Structure formats: structure tokens, C-alpha cells
Amino acid sequence: MTGWLDVDERDDHYLGLAGANISATEALLSTRDNLADVVEARAMMCVHGDAGLGKTLSVNASLRTLAAEDVYRVQFRARPTPRDIRHVLFDALGCSGRPPASPIEFDTLLKDVLAERPRVLVCDEAQWLSRECFELWRHLWDDRRTDIAIVFVGGGDCYQVLRREPMLSSRVYVWQEFRRMPREQVVQVIPAFHPVWANAEVDDIAYADVHAGHGNFRAWAKITAHTLTALTRLEREVPDREILQWVFSRLGGRRD
């Protein structure tokens, strides 16, 4: 669990990559527009797609602009139970006292807190949630007193997982899928993503994407980190095919 205001913007980038910038991709701009509508409507949203495509970064960056003081982010790395979610929300919302022992009392407490003022609850890695967990989220959102928007963010199978829960999926206001960047977008975005690529040849950026990047921001963060290491060791400034070949050797990519 992470309180929103405790998250440094640099932590949004994979590896905390120094010098990395948030790039205004089509997906990021769509996320910002969609979240603005969801927050205003106090609705639910599902952001889904394969790992490393920038889902969490886009949601974080957008909500910092739209509703930074109202956002509470929860995240799970394994399959949580409703009890886990209740306790994580108890901590994230700064509830006082001891957590209630009874689920009914616990839910009443959470709803009382969530009725105090507008809030945006972001549930990352939502593909791990069970039917009972989704029912808890729906129960909190359905209560007329609560004043919340809920954003589910999850991996490639998150869409299928939520769609299997019709009581919840019917309440999702916006569905947004993240996909790999096409190559023509990569060569435009990557020079703005990190200064190391600003003076690189377009053909070399495309070459790196073909062999290792594959339109995936997380992969590009790794490429960039290794490229910075190579340039420092060789006392060079601009990446070229020789540098990229060395990078590929570390990533397990092809060397042709």
C-alpha cells in the first residue's frame, strides 16, 4: 500500500531512471481525458493492457494534475482477500483507532470515511482480485453516501477478469486498453523520453525498437539505462549501432 503523496514522480519510471521524462503519447493524453470524465462523474474506470506499456505511469501523471489531493492508491502483489482490502484502505485513508473486527462494522466505518469528501481510489494490479474483492469495491461505490471514483489498473488479463463480474463491469464507465507503440510513434516519442536519445539517428532508434524495445516503455527504460552505462564507460555521447549491440548482449536480444 502506498499513500499517494508519498510517491515521488521519479518512482513512476521503471528503475527510477534519472533524466526520464513523461512523454505525451496518445495513450497518456487519452488517459488524462478519460480520468477527467471519470473523476467528475465519480465513476469507475478500467485501464488494462500488457506489462510495461505505461498504464500506471499514465494514471499517476494524469491524477497528479487532476486530483492529487484526493487520490489514494492501493496495490497488491498476490491474491488479496476482502479482509486485506479493508485493512489496506483503513491505512490508506488514515482511519483512526483500531480496525473493526466485524466485516459489517468495518464496511460501515469505511463508508463513513468515504462520505466525508471526494476521493479517487486507484487499485493497481487489479487482475489479482477475486469475485469477493470486486464485490467489496462495488459495495463501497454503490453506497449513496460515498463520494468516490474507482480506477482499476491491471495487466493483460484484467479486462477478462472484470468482464467475468457483470455486477461490477456493468458499472465501469470507461474502459481503456493500452497497446504497444507503433514504430512511427516510437521514433517521435523516445527522443523526448530521455536526453540520451535526443541526438541519436532515427534509424538507430528504430533499430533498437525492432530488436529490443518493441514499443514497450519498460523495455525502453532498460535499453536507456544500459545505453547510459555504455556511453559513460566508452566516454562517448551519442548511441550508435555499436553501443546498441552491447546493450542487446545484456538484454538477451539479437546481435545482427
Residue 74 near residue 240 (C-beta atoms within 8 A): no
94 pLDDT above the threshold of 60 = yes
Tell me the three cell numbers of residue 10. Answer: 521519479
Residue 5, pLDDT score: 43
254 pLDDT above the threshold of 60 = no
Domain boundaries, the chain: 4-178, 183-251
pLDDT tens for residues 189-227?
999 999 999 999 999 999 999 999 999 999 999 999 999
State how far the alpha carbon of 46 is from the alpha carbons of 122, 169, 220, 226, in Å.
10, 9, 25, 33
Q: How confident is the model at residue 156 (pLDDT cuts 50, 70, 90)?
A: confident
Sign of the alpha-carbon torsion through 64, 66, 69, 71 = negative
Q: Which amino acid is at 33?
A: D
What is the residue-averaged pLDDT of the chain?
91
Cα distance between residue 119 and residue 39, in whole Å: 9
Cα distance between residue 228 and residue 218, in whole Å: 16
- 114: Cβ contacts below 8 Å, ≥ 6 apart: 93, 140, 143, 145, 146, 147, 148
Residue 3, pLDDT score: 44
pLDDT tens for residues 25-82?
999 999 999 999 999 999 999 999 999 999 999 999 999 999 889 999 998 778 899 9
Give me the mean pLDDT over the 234-247 stretch: 94
Residue 19, pLDDT score: 85
CATH topology of domain 4-178: Rossmann fold (3.40.50)
- For the chain, give the secondary structure using H, E and C: CECHHHCCHHHHCHHHCCCCCCCCCHHHHHHHHHHHHHHHHCCEEEEEECCCCCHHHHHHHHHHHHHHHHEEEEECCCCCCHHHHHHHHHHHCCCCCCCCCCHHHHHHHHHHHHCCCCEEEEEECHHHCCHHHHHHHHHHHHCCCCCEEEEEEECCCHHHHHHCCHHHHCCEEEEEEECCCCHHHHHHHHHHHCHHHCCCCHHHHHHHHHHHHCCCHHHHHHHHHHHHHHHHHHCCCCCCHHHHHHHHHHHCCCCC
Residue 68, pLDDT score: 86
